[in-house]
Structure 1
Amino acid sequence: MTEDKSPMPRSLEAPASDQLLDSILEKATTAAQQTVEQFARLASLARDIEACNSSPASCATLLAAFEEIAASAEANAKLDVEFFQSLRNGLILKHELRRAHHEDAEPSSEMTILAPSTLTKH
C-alpha cells in the first residue's frame, strides 16, 4: 500500500498563526511531560529514602540522586519559563509595533482627504 504524498491544497493548510500556536502548545506539552516525569522520579526517590533502613552511605547516595534530579528539574523549568516569557514578550512587542504603525498610518487632523462621491443625483 502506497501513501499519497501530494501536497495539501492551500485552502486546507493551517494558517501561519495556527502553526505557531500548534508549535507553542507542542513545546508546552513536552515541558509539562518532562516535569511530570521528573516529579515522579523525585516521589519514587523520596519513598526510597523514607524506607531506607540501610547504611547512612546508602541514604546519602539516594539524597544525592534526589538533589541531582531536583536541580535538573529546576534548571529545565527555568529554561521553559524563559522560553515562554520571551515568546510572550515578543508577541507583546509585535502588538505594540503594529499598534504604533496603525497610529502612524492614521491621517492627522491637519490633512484633508478628498474622495469622489459615490452618490449621483438624477
Structure 2
Amino acid sequence: MTEDKSPLPQALEVPASDQLLDSILEKAATAAQRTVEQFAKLASLARAIEQCNSSPARRAKLLFAFEEIAASAEANARLDAEFFQGLRNGQILKRELRRAHYEHVEADADSEVTILAPSTMTRH
C-alpha cells in the first residue's frame, strides 16, 4: 500500500505567520507552566520551613533548597522576559518572517527556470 504524499491544497496550508504565532504562544505557555511549577515548589518549601520543628540543620537544608529554586526561577524568568521583549521589539519576529519569506521565495525560484544570456548588442 502506498501513501499519498501530495501537497496540501493552498486553502489548507497554514501560513508562515500563523505557524510563527503558534510557536510564540507555545513558548509562552511553556514558560508560564514552568513558572507555575517553580512557584508551587517555593510555596511548598515555605510552608515546610514555617512548620519545621526539627533541627537547625534540617531548616538550613530547606532554606538552601528554597534559594536554589528561587534562583532558577529568576534566571528562567529573566530569559523568558528577554525573549518576549525581543519579540515585542520585533527583532525575532522580523527575523523569522524574513526567513519564512526567503524560504518561500527560494521554493518558488526552484520551480521556475530562467536563462540569462549576455546581450549581443553594444552601445557606443
Give the alignment's TM-score, normalised by structure 2. 0.67
How far did residue 10 of structure 1 move?
A: 2.3
User: Aligned-pair distance for 1:18?
Assistant: 0.8
Aligned positions, number: 92
Q: Name 2:20's counterpart in structure 1.
A: 20
Q: Per-residue CA shift, 1:3-31, capped at 9, x if unaligned?
A: 97654322111111111110000000000
For residue 37 of structure 1, report the CA deviation from its aligned partner. Answer: 0.3
Residue type of the alignment partner of 1:33: Q
In the TM superposition, residue 87 of structure 1 has moved relative to its aligned partner by 1.6
Instruction: Classify 1:6/1:41 alpha carbon distance in 2 versus 1 (closer, same or farther; 3 Å).
Output: farther
Deviation digits for residues 63-100 of structure 1 (CA, Å, limit 9, x no counterpart)? 00000000000000000000011122125995xxxxxx
Partner Cα distance (2:56, 2:4) in 1? 62
**Identity of matched residues, %:** 82
Q: 1:25 to 1:93 in 2, by over 3 A?
A: closer
The answer to which structure, 1 or 2, has the higher relative contact order (CA under 8 A, 6+ apart) is 2
Matched-pair contact (CA < 8 Å) for 2:86–2:92: no
Question: What is the alpha-carbon root mean square deviation over aligned residues?
Answer: 2.3
Larger Rg: 1
**Helix, strand or coil: the match of 2:60?**
helix
Q: Which moved more, 1:80-89 or 1:21-30?
A: 80-89
Question: In the aligned structure 2, how far is the partner of 1:14 from the partner of 1:51?
Answer: 53
TM-score by length of 1: 0.68
Q: Which runs of 5+ in 1 are unaligned?
A: 95-122
Name the counterpart of 1:35.
35
